[in-house]
Amino acid sequence: MATTKTAEASAREVAPGERTISYVQAGIEALREEMQRDPTIFYIGQGIGPRGGNWQQTRGLCAEFGEDRLRDTPISEVGQMGVGIGAAMAGSRPIVDIVFIDFMLETCGMLVQQASTTYYVSNGKIKVPLVVRAAMGGVRSSGPHHSHSFYSFFMHIPGLQVVVPATPYDVKGLLKTAIRNDNPVVFLEHKALFNTKGSVPPEDYLIPFGQAVIRRSGTNVTLIAVSLMVSRALDAAEILAKNGISVEVIDPRTVAPLDREAILSSVAKTGRLAIVDEAYATCGFSAEVAALVAESALDDLDAPVRRICALPAPHAFSPSLDTYLQPTTERIVKEITQMLER
């Protein structure tokens, strides 16, 4: 269930004297602290051992914890998932790194049919404390097999929790929460964010699932965004502010559970809603948010909901075409401006 209190925070501002580390370093720090705390945690995936992973997301951990706890696997996502689910049911806390979200589709039989249902069908006798980690999003025009943002697929499944952090602070706090959770968590990080930096406290902290954060307060329109789209939404809001348009940017941080109250409260204040989403519009995250507001806050709206999503075509190898297909800052500004002109 979503919490009733929405946090307020900036995705960018760092106060003087605060410690600044990268998005990927925040994940490593969370893993190190949790593996030191709990010996039942182990991590498996392709190239995550001595090499440290495609994104250096496990850099240094194999040397510290050994190859029994950070174990390289063959290129077999199905095998990885089977090991992870079985180990979780047997009492361990595995983290399975699929590397690219695109190849999580290979694992759906086990993830959807087994991991998400086991606690339910066993009447609570068998827990599945599993974290499935993967990188998502289009970068460097990588084409249709390494660029997707499929988080909406997993939102659809009861029993799965889906996390999409936008900042280093959120990576650390949400990953620690995911690892301590007794249910399967799909933890998705955007490839374009790994080298971004932000303020991260050195001490232990947890961020509860289902608690959105207000990245920027505003009065004219509510703009919902997750992951990489948060920074683009903030850039757009800054441009729009110069034109007299006040945009409230909300980052749900987890899409399952979803902080419904935060969205509805903001829409009640602004009277307008737009969702920027790197995934496709059809049956996606943006559709769920739009449906939520239509069902629960239709009378608060002064204009139709605007969805600013990836265009319905496979990702392209052509840089110019791939950029055209994605929600850009310029496109967000244009569509929000049109919305306010109605």
Give catalytic residue positions: 146
Can you tell me the distance from the alpha carbon of 145 to that of 138, in angstroms, rounded to the nearest whole number?
A: 10
φ, ψ (nearest 5 deg) of residue 18: -75, 150
Can you tell me the distance from the alpha carbon of 296 to that of 23, in angstroms, rounded to the nearest whole number?
A: 35
Strands 221-225 and 247-251: what pairing? parallel
227 conformational bin, left if phi > 0, alpha if psi -120 to 50, beta if neither: left
| Omega before residue 257 within 30° of 0, cis | yes
Can you tell me the distance from the alpha carbon of 161 to that of 253, in angstroms, rounded to the nearest whole number?
A: 11
Q: Provide the β-strand partners of residue 199.
A: 20
| Cα torsion angle, 279, 285, 289, 295, sign | positive
The residue whose two tokens read 């269930």 is 1
52 conformational bin, left if phi > 0, alpha if psi -120 to 50, beta if neither: left
Token pair listed for 164: 């999409």
Strands 247-251 and 93-100: what pairing? unpaired
Q: Which residues contact 24 (CB under 8 A, 6 or more apart)?
A: 55, 56, 57, 59, 194, 195
DSSP state of 210: T
What does the chain come to in residues?
342
* Amino acid identity for residue 150 in this structure: F
Token pair listed for 226: 């997750």
